[in-house]
């Protein structure tokens, strides 16, 4: 994994874990936490989203970004020994090429 990728993932993880993200109003209406398999299946079946990136935060939580061919995206965080929670989602996901990589806008 390149230094740029690690830095970008670390910055995103810090942003999400710090609580600086603003949840979607729909998320505020109820908890979107549960077994990881159930959430992953829901993202796959409902939005054709699959994992595009993942990393472990400084607190040991697994942070995963899922994206679909339509540009939809979701961020899941799994706490060690705890549930998996949908912390954010949206539209317009575009994969950026790494340094030295040909540009491919596909997910």
pLDDT score, position 18: 45
pTM of the model: 0.66
Instruction: Give me the count of residues in the chain.
Output: 107
pLDDT score, position 95: 87
DSSP letters, 15-44, are HHHTT-S---HHHHTS--EE-HHHHHHHHH
What are residue 74's phi and psi, to 5 degrees? -145, 150
Domain span holding position 78 = 3-90
pLDDT single digits (tens) 47-103: 999 999 999 999 999 999 999 999 999 999 999 998 999 999 999 999 888 887 765
Residue 106: inside a domain, yes or no?
A: no
- Number of Cβ within 10 Å of residue 93's Cβ equals 19
Q: How many domains would you assign to the chain?
A: 1
Residue 99: inside a domain, yes or no?
A: no
Residue 96: inside a domain, yes or no?
A: no
Residue 102: inside a domain, yes or no?
A: no
Residue 17: inside a domain, yes or no?
A: yes
Closest CA to 59 of 2, 3, 8, 10: 10
Q: Is the pLDDT of residue 30 over 70?
A: no
């Amino acid at each position: 994994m390149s230094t740029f990728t690690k830095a970008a993932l670390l910055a995103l993880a810090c942003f999400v874990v710090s609580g600086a993200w603003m949840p979607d109003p729909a998320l505020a209406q109820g908890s979107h936490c549960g077994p990881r398999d159930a959430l992953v299946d829901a993202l796959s079946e409902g939005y054709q989203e699959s994992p595009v990136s993942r990393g472990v935060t400084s607190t040991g939580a697994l942070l995963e970004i899922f994206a679909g061919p339509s540009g939809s995206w979701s961020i899941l965080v799994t706490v060690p020994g705890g549930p998996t929670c949908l912390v954010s989602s949206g539209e317009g996901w575009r994969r950026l090429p790494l340094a030295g990589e040909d540009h491919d806008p596909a997910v």
